[in-house]
Structures are given as structure tokens and as C-alpha cells.
Amino acid sequence: MRTAVITAAGQVEIRKLPVPEIGATEVLVRVAACGLCTMEGNLYAGRMPVYPTAAGHEVAGRVERVGDQVAELEDAPAVGDLVTVDLLTRCGACRPCRGGQSAVCSSPQGGMREDGAITMGAGLAEYVVAPAAQVWPVGTVDPALAAMGEPLACVVHSLRRGALRAGDRVTVIGAGYMGHLHLALARHHGARSVTVVELDPGRRSAIEAAAPDAAIGPDLLGTVPRADVVFVTIASKEAIATALAAVADGGRIVLFGGSPDGPPAELPGYEVHRRQLTVTGSYSQEPEDWRAAAELLRGGTLTRYLEPLVTARYPLDDVDQALARTAGTPVYRVVVTP
Ligand SMILES: NC(=O)c1ccc[n+]([C@@H]2O[C@H](COP(=O)([O-])OP(=O)(O)OC[C@H]3O[C@@H](n4cnc5c(N)ncnc54)[C@H](O)[C@@H]3O)[C@@H](O)[C@H]2O)c1
Ligand SMILES: [Zn+2]
Ligand SMILES: [Zn+2]
């Protein structure tokens, strides 16, 4: 099979490897679409200099083979199914995994492939192998949308962390790809209103097509109702300050965006205490988030929100152009279709 490996900043090569074997509880998936996320963009641009790397963790495809022990289990993937694939490794044994919070599994992700590439998904390839428990059938949607299973699961997780309930007023800070997904899911879950706060006027008008109640700059926060839940989809001090101004007393703030080298924000202890705020983090996703994300994809409920987020599609042979495209604006998802 052909597989793309990022070997240095601005360098990617297509290698030939044998089609992988599967174990008794695994599934072989022929990749139909792989979305490029911030991580792939960072690897290619040299902002994350970890090479050689087999990247691509937002994968959808068709089941080609199913291990003996999982064939014909109810609701398990079957040969021919279109699936969205969870390529995370969760050890199941560490303290967070045992406590039901596998999103923060202590074991390192990835590993070394036979060709010496570090695997970070390895979905920019013709095939991937995953445990059957992590392969989710999605019915008949466009594979480019099915490849949004992973980011969608992250946002399902974020809504769960924010304990969003029908009737809540929601504010989303940032109108990037993740802001769009938060708006779509908040609507789906019956939010009373969704306000989007975004600095860039172009991005504000782009998100207006998805019909938020308001798309405003931070200067206009005083003109909209305060929110029961604020989702911060950026990693910045300013965005956290905006969240504190946007949230209602007794409300929740979810820090969804994050960066290890982002500037630390000060936590205003008295304000959190006196206004009885909840500030929480949301990182990655867990199996129950995938279950919900797969179902949302299958039902087509979110299709009208997701379709405009496919910015461009490239064949695997043009993966260099696809990776370069992630640096452009406006970009939501660039999809590689092997
Ligand atoms: N929690 C998770 O599981 C998870 C998963 C994937 C990505 N992320 C994180 O989500 C974040 C967003 O990803 P994205 O792809 O949407 O990024 P993006 O860069 O496309 O979007 C961010 C948007 O925020 C806007 N912005 C920046 N500062 C602002 C401010 N102070 N106020 C209002 N708007 C502001 C930008 O103009 C931009 O439109 C990243 O930090 C990423 O690391 C988290
Ligand atoms: Zn991703
Ligand atoms: Zn673990």
C-alpha cells in the first residue's frame, strides 16, 4: 500500500509498504478520506519537528476485513461498512483509564512503524488497522464528512465537560473549524441561543451562514445575554478574559483550545468564588463521545453544518499540496482521498 511520511519541514514522501495484517479483534479499513488537522499542518510547516512521521488521525473508510473474534457481533463493523476510525491508543490500565477518563490516558500515544516512521495516526495511507471497538459504522454519508468523526467526538466531549443542557445559552469563542463544530452541536442539543465571539470580520461573516444568534467581536459582548456555558476554542489569555466577561453568574467555562507554550492566564479566584463559576478543561475524546459522533454523522443531522467545512480535497499523490494548503486562509478541513 502507499503511505505518506513527513520526513522534514516541507518534505513528504510516498512509501510502499505491505497491506497490514490484522489480529482476531482488529479491523482492516481501506481509507476513503483523511482530514488534515492542526497537528499535520504543524508537522509539515516545521512547528512540530518530529520526523519521520506517519501522520493523519481523522480517518474514514470501508471495512475490508474483520478479525475472527469480532465478526458478526451486534453493531460491530462488518465488511463493506463505511466507518469513522478512532486511532487513539488508550491503555485501559492507567489510573485515568480505570477511572473512566481515558481522554487523559497516561500512556504515550503512537509508536514506531516497521519502516522507521513514528506513527501519529498513519491515516495518510491506503489502509489502517484499528481495534474493532474503535471502528464506528456511519451509514452512507460522504467519506469526507465521516472523516470528521474524530474532531466531532472531541466536541461531543467538550459539551459533556460543559454539562450542556437544552435551554442553556451558549457562547463560543473563536469561529475556526472547532468553533463551527461547537455551534452545530450546541444547536443540535437545544441551546436557547448561540453567540459566537470572533476577532476576524471575515470569519464572523463566514459563520453567519450557520445562523448563530449573533457573531460579534469581543467589544460587543455587552449587547448579548450572558451565557450558561462558554466554550473557548482558542488558547489565549485574551480569550479566557473574554470568557469571564461572557459567562453568567453560576455558569461554566470550558477551555477546549490549548497550547503547551500558550501564555499562562491568571485565575481570578475571588471572581470564580463569588460568581460561583465552573472552569473546566476538555481534551481529546472517549469511546462514548465516538458513539454519539458516529450516530450524528449517520443520521445526517449535522450535514448542513459540516459540508461547508470541507475546504479542499486532494488525492494521496498530491499530499504535499494538501499539507501546504493547510497553511492558507480560510481553511477548515483539507481532506486527502487515497
Ligand atoms: N480539546 C480538544 O480535544 C481539541 C481538539 C482539536 C483541536 N483543539 C484546539 O482547538 C483550538 C481551535 O482549533 P481551530 O482549528 O478551530 O483553530 P483556528 O485557528 O481555525 O480558529 C481559531 C479562531 O479563533 C479566533 N480568535 C483568536 N483569538 C481570539 C480572541 N481572543 N477572541 C475571539 N476570537 C479569537 C481566530 O481568528 C480564529 O478564527 C486549537 O487551540 C486546537 O489546539 C482542541
Ligand atoms: Zn484532529
Ligand atoms: Zn490509560
- Specify the pLDDT at position 259: 81
Same domain, 207 and 237: yes
- What letter would DSSP give residue 123? -
**CATH number of the CATH domain containing 183:** 3.40.50.720
156: in domain: no
Q: Is 235 in the pocket of ligand 1 (CB under 6 A)?
A: yes
pLDDT at site 205: 96
Best of 105, 178, 205 for a ligand 1 pocket test (most atoms within 8 Å of beta carbon): 178
- The reported pLDDT for the residue numbered 111 is 87
- Which pLDDT belongs to residue 105? 96
Domain range for 263: 163-281
The CA distance from 180 to 211, in Å, is 11
Helix extents (H) in 250-333: 269-274, 287-299, 303-306, 319-325
244 SS3 class: helix
The residues whose Cβ lies within 5 A of ligand 2, an ion, are: 37
Point out the ligand nearest to the CA of residue 201.
Answer: 1
pLDDT of residue 264: 80
* Spatial distance between the Cα atoms of 47 and 49, rounded to a whole number of angstroms: 6
State whether 142 and 229 are in the same domain: no
Residue 158 maps to a domain: no
Query: Does ligand 1 have an atom closer than 6 angstroms to the CB of 176?
Result: yes
Count of domains in the chain?
2
Q: Are residues 8 and 142 in the same domain?
A: yes
Same domain for 36 and 137, yes or no, is yes
Substitution site in 234, 244, 259, 284 for ligand 1 pocket (most atoms within 8 Å of beta carbon): 234
- CB burial of residue 99 (10 Å; 0-12, 13-18, 19+): exposed
pTM > 0.85: yes or no: yes
* One domain, residues 252 and 310: no
Cα(97)–Cα(89) distance, integer angstroms: 11
Beta bridge partners of 29: 63, 128
The CB of 238 under 6 Å from ligand 1? The reply is yes
Q: How far is the CA of 62 from the centre of ligand 2 (A)?
A: 20
Residues 274 and 290 in one domain: no
**Residue 129 covered by a domain:** yes
Q: Is residue 157 part of a domain?
A: no
- Please list the rounded mean pLDDT of every run of 10 residues in the chain (338 residues): 97 97 97 96 94 97 97 93 96 96 92 93 97 97 98 98 98 98 98 98 96 98 97 94 97 93 84 97 97 95 96 97 91 96
The answer to the question of residue 155 being in a domain is: no
Are 146 and 6 members of one domain? yes
Residue with CA at minimum distance from ligand 1 atom 22: 176
Q: Of the candidates 265, 281, 297, which is a domain's last residue?
A: 281
Same-domain status, 212 and 69: no
6 within a domain of the structure (yes/no): yes
